[in-house]
Amino acid sequence: MALLPPSFVAALVSGLLVLWYVYSTLNAYLALRHFKGPWSSGFSRLWLLRANLGGRMNHEFRAVNDKYGKTARVGPQTLLTTDVALIKRMNGTRSDYRRSVWYNALRLHPTRDNITSHRDEQVHSRLRAQMTQGYSGKDVPDLEKDIDRCIEDFFALINRTYVSSEAEYVPFDLARLATFFSLDVISTVAFGKSFGFLDLNDDPFGYLPQLQTLLPAIIFFGVYPEIQKIMRLSWMQALLPKATDVNGVGRVMGFAKDVVAERFGEEKVVRRDMLGSFLKNGLTQDQLESETLTQVAAGSDSTATVIRMAIFLIASNPSVYNKVLEELDVAEAAGKLTRPVIRDSESRLLPYFQACVRETLRCYPPVTGQLAKQSPANGDHFNGMYIPPNTQIAWNSWGLMRTKEIFGDDVDVFRPERWLASGGHTPEELAHMEETVWMAFGWGRFGCLGRPVAQMEINKTIPELLMEYNFQIADPSNPFSVKCVGFFIHTDMFFRVSKRIRRESRTAT
C-alpha cells in the first residue's frame, strides 16, 4: 500500500484542526448564548484581553454590566457579574463553586503556589487555618506598635523633606510615598524587618518599576492561563524573577528568602510576628518564602490605594474635609485620641471618619478583578438562568460599588453622609450597603486574610495624616495618572503639604 503524500497528510491534519477549532468555538458560543455581552466575546478572548490591559479595566467592566445586565458575557467561557447574591453563592462556605484557572496567574513565585493561587480546596483551607492567627494579629502582640513606628517614620520623612512653606512649594507625591509606607509596614509586621523605603526615601529594590510590568503580566496570564503553563517549563525559568536578581521582584524574593532562612538552623531568630506565627502553625520553609512574597505584593499595593485615594477624595471635597477635621479635633480635645498615634479602637468610634473610609472603598475598591470562580461540574441554575459546567464567573467590584439599587442614584458622587442615619437610607438599606462595601475585601471562604491588618493601617494612618498636615492638590485639572489592571497603578499624585495648626495650638494662642 502506497504511503500518502506528505502534502496530503499536512492538509488533512490542518483541516481536522480547523474543524476541531470551529466545533469547540461553536460549542462554547452556544453554551452561554443566553447571556448577552460584547459581540466578539462569544468566540474570542480578545475583548477581555483589551479590557484588562487597556488601563481602564474598571470602566470597561462597569460599562458591560450597565449595558448587558448584572451578569454579562465577556469571553467564550467567562461571565462578569455585579450580582451580590451570585457573588455570595460562589464564595459561600458550602458552595460547590471553586477557584477557576484564572487564579493560576497569582502564583508569584516561579516554582511554588501560595494561598491566593492554590486551587485545591483542601490545601487552601488548611493554609487559611494555619495563617489566620498571624493575619488576625492574635499571634502578633506588637502589631499595632509596629504600625505606629512606621507612621512615625513616615511623618519624619515628610517633615524633613516635603513640607512646603508660604514661600516655597515642595512637590509631595502621595502615590509614591504611600507605597513606600505600605511596603515598610508589611515588611515590618510580616517578618520584623523593614525594607527601608521611608528611611532612604527611595526604592532600594527597584521594585516599583517592575511592579508596573508584573501586574499587567498577571492579568494577561489570567486571560490566557495556557501561556503560563509554558512559562513554568524548566527552560523558561531563566526569564522569570529569581532570588539572586539585583533588583525588582527578584530582589524582594531574595529578601524574603533571607528573612525566612533566619528562622531556621541552630542560631535561628525567634520573633512573635506574622512569619513566626506561620512557622509555629506548621508552614514549611518553602511555603514561607512563597507566602512572604505574596504578602508584600498583595498586601502593600491595595492598602496604599485606599490611603492615597481617601486623602485625595477628602481633600478635594471642602465640606467633607471640614467635617472630618472637626470630628478629629473635637475627639482630640476631649482626650479620646491617644497621642502621638491614634489607636485602631479609637478610630473605629469616629462615625464620620468611618463613613469616609466606607465611601472611599465604595468609590475606589482597590482590587477590580477578576477573582473568577468556576461553576460546578453539573452546572448551576441561578435566577432563572442556566450556568453550564466549568464556566468562569468573574466579579466586577467597581460596577458592584456603583449599583444604584444598593447605594442610591448618586453613585458617582463621593458622599460619606450616605453611610450615616441621616443620609437618606433606612436601617435595612444601610445594613445591605455595609455588607456590600466590605466585599472590597472579598467574601466568605475566599475573603482577604489580611483585612484586619489593612483596616488597622487605614484607621490609623489616614486620620493622623489629616490631623498633622494640610493637603492641597497641586494640579486640580490633572490631579494624578492612573492605570487599572486589576490593581491600580497611580503616579504623579502631587500635593502641597504644610504643617497644620492643631486645635490645642489655636486655643493656646
pLDDT tens-digit series, residues 272-323: 999 999 999 999 999 998 888 888 877 788 999 999 999 999 999 999 999 9
Asked whether the CA dihedral 29, 31, 33, 37 is positive or negative, the reply is negative
Integer-rounded Cα radius of gyration of the chain: 25
* Stretch (H or E) spanning 37: none
Cα 364 to Cα 76, 310, 367, 397, 412: the distances in Å are: 29, 9, 9, 9, 11
Average pLDDT over residues 135-159: 95
Phi, psi angle pair for 135, to nearest 5° = -70, -30
- How, if at all, do strands 487-491 and 481-485 pair? antiparallel
Instruction: Give the amino acid at 361.
Output: L
Written as nine digits, the cell of 152 is: 512615625
pLDDT value for 24: 62
What is the rounded average pLDDT of the residues 60-74?
Answer: 97
What's the rounded mean pLDDT across residues 484-503?
90
pTM of the model: 0.92
Using the CB atoms, write b or e for 71-96: b if 16+ within 10 Å.
bbbbbbbbbbbbbbebbebbbeeebe
Residue 257 and residue 243: Cα distance in Å, rounded?
Answer: 7
CB 147 within 8 A of CB 189: yes
Let me know: does 486 contact 52? Beta carbons within 8 Å. yes
pLDDT at 20: 64
Strand, helix or coil at 385? strand
Q: Tell me, what's the pLDDT at 507?
A: 35
Cβ atoms within 10 A of the Cβ of 365, count? Answer: 25
> Mean pLDDT across the stretch 325-349?
97
- The Cβ-side half-sphere exposure at 237, using a 13 Å CA radius, reads 10
Calculate mean pLDDT across residues 135-145. 92
CB distance 420 to 410 below 8 Å: no
Set of cell numbers at residue 109: 513565585
Task: Give the containing element (helix H, strand E) for 369.
Answer: none
Residue 63 and residue 54 in contact, taking contact as beta carbons nearer than 8 Å: no
Measured between alpha carbons, how far is residue 506 from residues 216, 243, 346, 501 in Å?
49, 53, 23, 7
pLDDT winner (highest mean) among 16-25, 161-170, 240-249: 161-170
Mean predicted confidence (pLDDT) in 331-360: 97
Residue ranges and CATH numbers for the domains of the chain are: 41-508 (1.10.630.10)
Question: Are residues 341 and 154 in contact, defined by beta-carbon separation less than 8 angstroms?
Answer: no
What does the pLDDT read at residue 396? 96
Residue 94 or residue 436, greater confidence: 436
Question: For residues 361 and 369, what is the distance between their CA atoms, to the nearest angstrom?
Answer: 15
All 3 cell numbers of residue 167? 514661600
Q: What is the mean pLDDT of residues 341-366?
A: 98
Mean pLDDT of the chain: 90
Residues across the chain: 509
As a whole-number percent, the residues of the chain with pLDDT over 70 amount to: 92
Name the strand (E) or helix (H) holding 329: helix 318-333
Residue 168 has pLDDT above 60, yes or no: yes
Confirm whether residue 484 is marked as ligand binding.
Answer: no
Residue-level pLDDT at 257: 87
Q: Is the dihedral of CA 250, 252, 253, 255 positive or negative?
A: positive
Q: Name the strand (E) or helix (H) holding 241.
A: none
CA 441 – CA 445 distance, rounded (Å): 12
- 76-114 residue pLDDT tens: 999 999 999 999 999 998 899 999 999 988 887 777 889
Between 9 and 459, the more confident residue is 459
Q: Residue 112, Cα to own-chain centre: how many angstroms?
A: 21
Task: Give the model confidence (pLDDT) of 224-277 as tens digits.
Answer: 988 877 766 555 556 667 777 778 777 888 888 888 999 998 888 888 999 999
**104/196 Cα distance (integer angstroms):** 31
Tally Cβ neighbours within 10 Å of residue 134.
29
Tell me what pLDDT residue 239 has.
Answer: 61
Q: Which among 375, 374, 294 has a CA at the least distance from the CA of 117? A: 294
Alpha carbon 499 to its chain centroid, in Å, reads 31
| Ranges 70-79, 131-140, 187-196, 208-217, most confident | 70-79
Question: Residue 440: pLDDT band by 50, 70, 90 thresholds?
Answer: very high
The pLDDT, as a whole number, for residue 506 is 33
Query: Cβ(64)–Cβ(368) under 8 Å?
Result: no
Distance CA 291, CA 118 (A): 11
Task: Return d(Cα 369, Cα 59) in angstroms, integer.
Answer: 12
Residue type, position 93, single letter: T
pLDDT of the residue at 64: 98
pLDDT for the residue numbered 490 = 95
- What whole-number distance in Å separates Cα of residue 487 and Cα of residue 213? 12
Are the beta carbons of 205 and 247 closer than 8 angstroms? Answer: yes
- N- to C-terminal Cα separation, the chain: 108
Instruction: Give the residue with greater pLDDT, 21 vs 76.
Output: 76
CA nearest neighbour of 135 among 294, 251, 355: 294
